[in-house]
């Protein structure tokens, strides 16, 4: 087979020619696939000779599989992403032994011109894993904060950002009985605390608590938002009867031998040895992860990648959409109803990320090709077994699925090769900056 390509503005035009002997071989294979359904007078079904069938049945019906076979032969060697059905032009006289030619237009994977590893070395730095005194102080302060306790405050009147312990009971306006979910005892709240742009309670509930005295009971009037999740309350007025039970102060323990003994250490010195080791392990892992990310990011940025076809971005968006729905356990309709996000808006927000994912995949693929990085069947099976632990599947099941599903096998194989690509890049960069 001979394949020539004409690169257009975005897609590629293919010119394919196949010699007559190869075409004849493919015709025999194609006829074997359809002969079982052929029935002609004088012959049993499935036993009609090919030369007889050719005289009475249209050749495009008999030999459609020849065209498909040639096309898939091309796909095996060319990075075709999407071909345009209306662009196909086919030339072949199937009534006799003859050569085959075909032209068509298709989008192909972008061309990647890798940056040299030396070119990115100067932009990559290893993070220090030294544990400083500031690191130790920050960690000890964190540990003390994690062990904070509440104590009764000397305050009598509640102010903004005070911690209040309250009882409350909510009723809709004009209704005597409390509504479901509107009652609580000894509820802890930090008054008017900013929780990512929101407050713990609706409307101006918390504003009305400010100024209350310990032991005071007060009616707090609020209105539920129109879009409130509980539809029976949405947009309605309510009254909460609130009692301020106590005002609390947050108190952190002192950093003493007594404190570290509660952590299982005999002295602050022993405790700090353990903390220092823990901080160092975290720093090592973070430094290693960031080192890998930096290498990959610089390799992508420094490499030249031609225009990514829209179909590739669309497919990646589709994959992200389906993955997100599976994780959420929702249908498209359910997800849109609960979040207000539909497929179109999701694609708009995720397209940039999809482009980066595609670039990463293309660069990894090119590195693997240029540096002959591959993996054996045994490595694929081992990797699949390791992944099965994370996905809570039995290794035998995931291996069985992998062997019966070529697409699944390819997915696992690609993941393993990508892992080896990262290790290769890290080793090469490390040699140059050592």
Could you please report the per-residue DSSP string of 309-334?
PHHHHHHHHHHHHHHHHHHHT--HHH
Give dist(CA 73, CA 91) in Å, integer: 17
Mean pLDDT (the chain, rounded): 89
Residue 23: strand, helix, or coil: helix
pLDDT tens-digit readout, 405-431: 778 888 889 999 999 999 999 999 999
Instruction: Tell me which of 178-192, 276-290, 375-389 is least confident.
Output: 375-389
Give dist(CA 430, CA 434) in Å, integer: 6
Task: Report residue 6's pLDDT band, with 50, 70 and 90 as the boundaries.
Answer: low
Q: Specify the pLDDT at position 157.
A: 95
Q: Is 216 left (phi over 0), alpha (psi -120 to 50) or beta?
A: beta
pLDDT tens-digit readout, 321-338: 999 999 888 888 888 888
- Check whether 398 has a pLDDT greater than 80: no
pLDDT tens-digit readout, 244-272: 999 999 999 999 999 999 999 999 999 99
- Check whether 390 has a pLDDT greater than 60: no
Do 53 and 40 touch, CB atoms closer than 8 A?
yes
The two tokens of residue 363 are: 């660069």
* Residue listed under structure tokens 């990075």: 79
Do 177 and 171 touch, CB atoms closer than 8 A?
yes
Give dist(CA 140, CA 419) in Å, integer: 36
**Packed helices 406-433 and 377-390: angle between N→C axes, nearest 10 degrees:** 100
The two tokens of residue 285 are: 């892992």
Nearest to 296 by CA among 180, 103, 428: 428
Q: Specify the pLDDT at position 10.
A: 66
- Phi (first) and psi of residue 296, to 5 degrees: -65, -45
Do 187 and 258 touch, CB atoms closer than 8 A?
no
The mean pLDDT value for 339-358 works out to: 91
Q: Specify the pLDDT at position 395.
A: 67
Q: Specify the pLDDT at position 289.
A: 95
Do 209 and 159 touch, CB atoms closer than 8 A?
no
Angle in degrees, CA 53, 57, 60, rounded to 5:
115
Query: Cβ contacts of residue 156 below 8 Å, gap of 6+?
Result: 213, 214, 247
Count of residues in the chain? 434
Give dist(CA 303, CA 116) in Å, integer: 8
Query: Cβ contacts of residue 324 below 8 Å, gap of 6+?
Result: 335, 346
Residue 238: strand, helix, or coil: strand
Its pTM surpasses 0.85: no
* Residue listed under structure tokens 């359809």: 34
**Packed helices 343-370 and 268-302: angle between N→C axes, nearest 10 degrees:** 90
149-251 and 269-433 in the same fold: no
Give dist(CA 377, CA 394) in Å, integer: 19
Query: Cβ contacts of residue 58 below 8 Å, gap of 6+?
Result: none
- Measured in Å, how far apart are the chain's first and last C-alpha atoms? 49
Q: Specify the pLDDT at position 193.
A: 92
Percent of the chain with pLDDT over 90: 59
Angstrom distances, CA of residue 12 to CA of 72, 305, 363: 17, 16, 21
CATH class of the region 149-251: alpha beta
**CATH superfamily, domain at 269-433:** Trigger factor, C-terminal domain (1.10.3120.10)
Q: Specify the pLDDT at position 381.
A: 83
Give dist(CA 421, CA 117) in Å, integer: 13
Domain range list for the chain: 2-108, 149-251, 269-433
- Check whether 33 has a pLDDT greater than 80: yes
The two tokens of residue 163 are: 């911690």
Per-residue b or e along 329-344, where b marks 16 or more CB atoms closer than 10 Å to that residue's CB: eeeeeebeeeeeeeee
> In this predicted model, which residue has the larger pLDDT, 38 or 119?
119
The mean pLDDT value for 288-304 works out to: 95
CATH class of the region 2-108: alpha beta
């Amino acid at each position: 087979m001979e394949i020539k390509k004409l690169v257009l503005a975005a897609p590629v035009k293919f010119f394919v020619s196949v010699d007559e002997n190869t075409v004849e071989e493919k015709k025999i294979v194609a006829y074997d696939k359809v002969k079982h359904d052929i029935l002609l007078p004088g012959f049993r079904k499935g036993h009609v000779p090919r030369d007889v069938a050719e005289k009475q049945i249209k050749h495009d019906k008999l030999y459609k599989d020849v065209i498909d076979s040639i096309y898939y032969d091309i796909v095996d060697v060319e990075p075709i992403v999407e071909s345009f059905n209306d662009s196909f032009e086919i030339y072949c006289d199937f009534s006799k032994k003859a050569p085959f030619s075909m032209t068509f237009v298709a989008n192909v994977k972008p061309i990647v011109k890798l940056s040299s590893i030396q070119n990115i070395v100067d932009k990559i730095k290893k993070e220090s894993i030294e544990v400083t005194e500031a690191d130790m102080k920050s960690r000890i302060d964190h540990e003390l904060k994690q062990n904070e306790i509440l104590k009764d405050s000397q305050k009598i009147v509640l102010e903004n950002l005070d911690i209040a312990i309250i009882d409350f009971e909510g009723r809709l306006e004009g209704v005597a009985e409390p509504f479901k979910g509107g009652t609580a005892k000894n509820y802890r709240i930090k008054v008017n605390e900013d929780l990512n742009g929101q407050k713990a309670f609706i409307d101006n509930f918390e504003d009305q608590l400010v100024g209350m005295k310990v032991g005071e009971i007060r009616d707090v009037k609020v209105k539920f938002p129109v879009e409130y999740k509980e539809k029976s309350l949405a947009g309605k007025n309510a009254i909460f009867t609130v009692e301020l039970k106590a005002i609390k102060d947050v108190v952190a323990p002192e950093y003493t031998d007594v404190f570290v003994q509660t952590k299982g250490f005999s002295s602050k010195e022993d405790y700090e040895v353990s903390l220092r080791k823990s901080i160092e392990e975290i720093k090592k892992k973070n430094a290693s992860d960031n080192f890998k990310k930096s290498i990959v990011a610089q390799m992508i940025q420094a490499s030249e990648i031609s225009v990514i076809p829209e179909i590739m971005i669309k497919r990646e968006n589709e994959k992200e959409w389906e993955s997100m729905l599976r994780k959420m356990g929702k249908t498209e309709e359910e997800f849109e109803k609960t979040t207000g996000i539909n497929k179109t808006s999701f694609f708009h927000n995720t397209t940039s990320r999809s482009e980066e994912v595609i670039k990463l995949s293309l660069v990894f693929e090119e590195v693997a090709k240029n540096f002959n990085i591959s993996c054996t069947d045994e490595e694929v099976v081992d990797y699949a077994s390791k992944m099965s632990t994370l996905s809570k599947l039995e290794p035998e099941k995931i291996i069985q699925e992998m062997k019966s599903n070529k697409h699944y096998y390819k997915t696992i194989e690609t993941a393993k090769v990508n892992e080896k690509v990262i290790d290769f890049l890290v080793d090469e960069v490390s040699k140059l900056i050592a």
